[in-house]
Chains A and B, each alone.
Chain A
């Protein structure tokens, strides 16, 4: 017989205007287990998580905590029970130090009731040490990388001795070493009797760390089974409801002719003497460990980061990229890795976001022609299969994958010839990923040049015609065809010679 579960979710339903987010979902989480929650975008994972966080109240159904019926009316209720949640969007205060963030509202006091700074920093250092990271407790959060901020979030949850830790895509921004550290910590939490709900799109990781896997699809509970009884293929089949034969389309070769994009000796604060060529019809991958300049190179080529030295040619013509507007005029489009900060105006609707870089196209006599605008936006949104109740829907209410498709839509209207993708599938589920892969492939096939930065090596190798590996801001290797393997990329990225 099973012991009383730590948490059981019973017949939970939740609707929002126009969307039934959860329908009669039930499953149980045992103490001491890592419970993976997987599903496509819009499957209901985020809604379920927010119910457990006390942010949303279910329309019907209930929760039991160690056999007792509970109601979570606010995040404070949830925290009191020992439920701690690490959101994909961090809840950190950028102007405070790591230690101040970690022990926010729980600052150790001296006998006089003042903040005991030494204890504060020391306790944080200890918690960070448990994670085997070398982040300085006194560093300001705004100076940390995304990966380091992720670790601070985790440490913050650990600081309150969570009984149930819910992690939403915790590894999205981590490199393999950091993922290893994280999994070490999860194992330790498990040994202590805590439970972890692990939400991830990376099925390899799901199988590495989880004991139990629950699959949600379209707001419904599909299955909860021991990870040992499942295969990767079976999980994918349950998630998308269909067989997923080949994730990556066939590899493309450059179409020849004048290179679309040619870079000579490009340097700035983060980049050293970059030379590259991008041909029509090819997908050029930029690989490397996080923070080695791939992102900066992509941004420099869209006029976001300055170029101090070197030249950029598009179609054989020298161009100056001082502002995104300059790059756009040359037919360059850019998809940022930070959808919410840089990709979308979240309070505006799908139509307004899609129209934004294209307003001149819809305008006559200096007036936006709403009919044209609605027609073109509606058309592209349909072509891209953006799941939305309508083109007026505020984009903040869309799931991650659909937000990404919205960003892509807004660029594709102007038919750009050079597309720069930074982490195009971050935080996106398997089904949507495959769709994005097909789109990127199609764009290159139709004669565009694609430059792609991704920390997901499988994806980078699966799509790219060629891979450039960056190390410390310089190109360390160019790999193509059979020479481009996970191993060869990692060797070049770390500078270790095998």
Chain B
């Protein structure tokens, strides 16, 4: 039997395009949005405004990165928002002006996040409960703990966080605002992990066909456990960042983050069925959400309209992806 030529240059180039079609699509939408925003308001493209948008978006970006890992395996993590809330509430009692307390605070943020992720991962892999139900339960439990801590230990966990600590995350490094690094560095690491490491490949394979991946000798449960820990960890870091930015602990501050992060990730082209999508897409999704709401705020559009618009955008994006899926 004759075999066809393996890879011709044109074939690999079209493949490259195919791979990036979803990413190109969403970045094109983002570009259009940026143009519309700068036309609609002359305050949009000012350094002050862009810095503010970046600072507001960093927490969502961190959570969305973790959410991307989970969604790629066809899972979901609803508990991320309450992790952010709990971490923020705890840090008020921990962080003072001393650098030792900053280290302790960071450890607590990472530890709490990873622990919640571990619980999620263990429940999903050992008890075989669906990720939706598991993380719905932990969402509620962790939220409860955050409120409990806030109410019962008011004297310890009240007041505000050291302004010096806040500066670490909100200041500037040379001419560049630090929140930009808070977004770029994790995005870079996550993209590297997903694209270049065996672990990343296992995540895509697991999301595409769990059975086949298991029968290829992958420890699929371990991979699942790891993605929930990563998601929890990223939520913990988002909590740390949020505390530094707001300098306070609000036990409800993360309330919308689970749904916002899922919106961003799906906007960015990650399939809820798993196995498809990328971190670059997620980054675009996060930026679209942030820039859209920033633009609408600049135009003084009331928030109720904003919710409706965001929902409409999500439906539109999902429709575009669905068509792409059929044509591919």
Known: A344-B212, A345-B205, A410-B216. Contact between A359 and B198, CB under 8 A?
Answer: yes
B12: which A residues are within 8 A, CB to CB? 390, 392
CB distance from A335 to the nearest CB of B (A): 9
CB distance from B252 to the nearest CB of A (A): 39
Measured in the bound complex, the distance between the Cα atoms of B197 and A352 in whole Å is 12
B276: which A residues are within 8 A, CB to CB? 347
Tell me if A's interface is mostly helix, strand, loop or mixed.
mixed
Name 8 interchain pairs, CB-CB below 8 A, sorted by A: A342-B212, A343-B215, A344-B212, A345-B205, A348-B208, A352-B201, A363-B198, A390-B7
Tell me if B127 counts as interface (CB < 8 A to partner A): no
Establish whether residues A392 and B15, one from each chain, have CB atoms under 8 Å apart when the complex forms. Answer: yes
* Most chain A beta-carbon neighbours within 10 Å: one of B202, B211, B275, B276: B211
Question: Contact residues of A with B, CB < 8 Å?
Answer: 18, 302, 304, 323-325, 327-329, 334, 336, 341-349, 352, 355-357, 359-360, 363, 366-368, 378, 381-382, 385-392, 394, 410, 431, 435
Measured in the bound complex, the distance between the Cα atoms of B212 and A381 in whole Å is 19
* Most chain B beta-carbon neighbours within 10 Å: one of A18, A348, A388: A348
Establish whether residues B6 and A348, one from each chain, have CB atoms under 8 Å apart when the complex forms. Answer: no
Q: A328-B217, A382-B3 are in contact. List 13 more A-B contacts (CB 8 A).
A: A341-B212, A344-B209, A348-B204, A352-B204, A357-B216, A363-B198, A366-B197, A367-B197, A388-B4, A390-B12, A391-B7, A392-B15, A410-B216
Known: A356-B213, A386-B3, A435-B1. Contact between A325 and B197, CB under 8 A?
Answer: no
Measured in the bound complex, the distance between the Cα atoms of B212 and A347 in whole Å is 12
Question: Contact residues of B with A, CB < 8 Å?
Answer: 1, 3-4, 6-8, 11-12, 15, 192, 196-198, 200-202, 204-205, 208-209, 211-219, 275-276, 328
Establish whether residues B6 and A381, one from each chain, have CB atoms under 8 Å apart when the complex forms. Answer: yes
Identify B7's interface contact among A324, A327, A378, CB under 8 A.
A378
Known: A387-B3, A391-B7, A435-B1. Contact between A356 and B218, CB under 8 A?
Answer: yes
Measured in the bound complex, the distance between the Cα atoms of B215 and A327 in whole Å is 10
A343: which B residues are within 8 A, CB to CB? 212, 215
Establish whether residues B211 and A341, one from each chain, have CB atoms under 8 Å apart when the complex forms. Answer: yes
A360: which B residues are within 8 A, CB to CB? 198
B208: which A residues are within 8 A, CB to CB? 345-348
Establish whether residues A355 and B201, one from each chain, have CB atoms under 8 Å apart when the complex forms. Answer: yes
Known: A341-B209, A345-B208, A356-B216. Contact between A368 and B198, CB under 8 A?
Answer: yes
Measured in the bound complex, the distance between the Cα atoms of B216 and A381 in whole Å is 18
Closest to A338 in B: B211
Closest to A18 in B: B11
Known: A334-B215, A385-B1, A435-B1. Contact between A363 and B205, CB under 8 A?
Answer: no
Establish whether residues A389 and B4, one from each chain, have CB atoms under 8 Å apart when the complex forms. Answer: yes
Known: A325-B217, A390-B12, A392-B11. Contact between A346 and B209, CB under 8 A?
Answer: yes
Closest to B196 in A: A367
Measured in the bound complex, the distance between the Cα atoms of B201 and A231 in whole Å is 49
Identify A356's interface contact among B8, B15, B205, B328, CB under 8 A.
B205
A347: which B residues are within 8 A, CB to CB? 208-209, 275-276
Establish whether residues B198 and A390, one from each chain, have CB atoms under 8 Å apart when the complex forms. Answer: no
B215: which A residues are within 8 A, CB to CB? 302, 304, 324, 334, 336, 342-343
Known: A325-B219, A348-B208. Contact between A382 and B4, CB under 8 A?
Answer: no
Establish whether residues A378 and B204, one from each chain, have CB atoms under 8 Å apart when the complex forms. Answer: no
